[in-house]
Amino acid sequence: STILTVMMAYSMYRLTSTRKFLERGIDVKAPEIHSGTIIVQPKEFETLLPKLENAPVLAFLRDLEYSREGWRTYFVTAVPFKRGNIAGTLNPTDLAKMTEITFQYLEETSRMGVPGVVVIDCVEYLSMYNSWDSLMKFLSKLRDLVMVKGGTLILVIDRNSVEERLFNQLRKLLE
């Protein structure tokens, strides 16, 4: 049992000290967008995509068409899935894991001197699996992490998919 405990401790150390976010062969440059939180419609986000081409982006997506080469992309789904440039899948109820991944990503971009960009295009999907209050707490925490590190949080949300009252609450808390 001692050997097993030592091996588990070593494995956890290796896992937590590994930085995979920015291991790529392209030039990393700061994105040409302002820091803070941006709430955009899907069509507006498509116009932002060229500004994010060579930026280090962490993306939690439902629409994999948004994913770009060099991004660290997670597909938010309850079904295990692996394809090409997709880092993996995340269960929509695992908001704590999304927060931890975001924190590690922002730490790495901060060390590189480049502002990080976090994209979430699945707010509606997350609201189906989590209570609205839990989702607002999660998004507020991400906003705070991004603000402290001087990065950008981009929420892609169709305004018609959320009640007006809830959308206004989202804007008030995040923008």
pTM of the complete model beyond 0.95: no
Per-residue model confidence (pLDDT) at position 17: 58
CB atoms under 10 Å from CB of 139, counted, come to 20
Q: For residues 65 and 102, what is the distance between their CA atoms, to the nearest angstrom? A: 21
Per-residue model confidence (pLDDT) at position 24: 46
CB atoms under 10 Å from CB of 155, counted, come to 22
Q: For residues 108 and 116, what is the distance between their CA atoms, to the nearest angstrom? A: 9
The DSSP string of 66-119 is G--TT-EEEEE-SS----TTEEEEE-TT-HHHHHHHHHHHHHHHHHHT---EEE
Place of tokens 């929509």: 92
- Which CATH number does the domain housing residue 138 bear? 3.40.50
Domain count, the chain: 1
Per-residue model confidence (pLDDT) at position 115: 87
Q: What is the mean pLDDT of each run of 10 residues along the chain (175 residues)?
A: 86 62 48 78 90 87 85 86 70 93 91 90 92 93 92 91 86 83
Q: For residues 20 and 22, what is the distance between their CA atoms, to the nearest angstrom? A: 6
Between helices 95-112 and 132-149, what is the axis angle to 10°?
A: 10
Per-residue model confidence (pLDDT) at position 25: 41
Least Cα distance to 104 among 118, 83, 86, 90 occurs for 118
**Burial label, 152 (beta-carbon count in 10 A; 0-12, 13-18, 19+):** buried
Task: Provide the residue range defining the domain that includes 125.
Answer: 2-174
